[in-house]
Chain A
């Protein structure tokens, strides 16, 4: 396994498809808080986000 393969394994790519309007609204909200989609998803994964029931 070369370095690129190791990096790809440790840092996999995430693809999220969202409608443009939704994505822009979400981005605008996140930008107000100085967050990115990646940070939001990381927070969700670490149990700091809203619940799945919402």
Chain B
């Protein structure tokens, strides 16, 4: 029986071109471990197992130092959002974290001056603030004058009139605003 060259069918040739085999040698212990992993994964084929290993082609190869840094930053931001005490600078509006010893000392002093205690601790000189009295129904609140809108039928500029009406303060704002203070904010 002559040992001729193995015949490759056209479909095999196309498949080999499309899905080529990467071949290498590795020591038998490592191969055995890989085969154990393959059997444990219950993957149907070796290719599917390999795809799972590399995370469905989304393998992110990063160095140990990069991974450590990423984990540290992630944990730090989580801890800061959970535990950090901050306030906004009234001038520039940027966030200031209370993380320096001087700031902490000042905050402690302010809290001590304000007389904050545990909610369970008794306070001898403390009187709870009285809730505001409800307004009796027989007292009528002054109604604000309706804005004088120059409605003219001739020009028909309805959009401008509506815009003007929207700029007027609402009833709630007018009731809450100080009547002596004329600088009321408008919505």
In contact, A45 and B59 (Cβ under 8 angstroms): no
A25 neighbours in B (Cβ, 8 Å): 57
Q: Does A1 contact B (CB under 8 A)?
A: no
In contact, B28 and A50 (Cβ under 8 angstroms): no
Task: Mark B14-57 against chain A: 1 for CB-CB distance below 8 A, else 0.
Answer: 00011111111111101101100100110000110010111111
**Known contacts A16-B50, A29-B59, A29-B61; A23 and B20 CB within 8 A of each other:** yes
Interchain Cβ contacts within 8 Å, total number = 96
Instruction: Please list the residues of chain A having a beta carbon within 8 angstroms of any beta carbon in chain B.
Output: 9-20, 22-23, 25-26, 29-30, 32-33, 35-38, 40-42, 44-46, 49-50, 52, 54
Q: How far is the CA of A30 from the CA of B59 in the complex (A)?
A: 10
In contact, A52 and B47 (Cβ under 8 angstroms): no
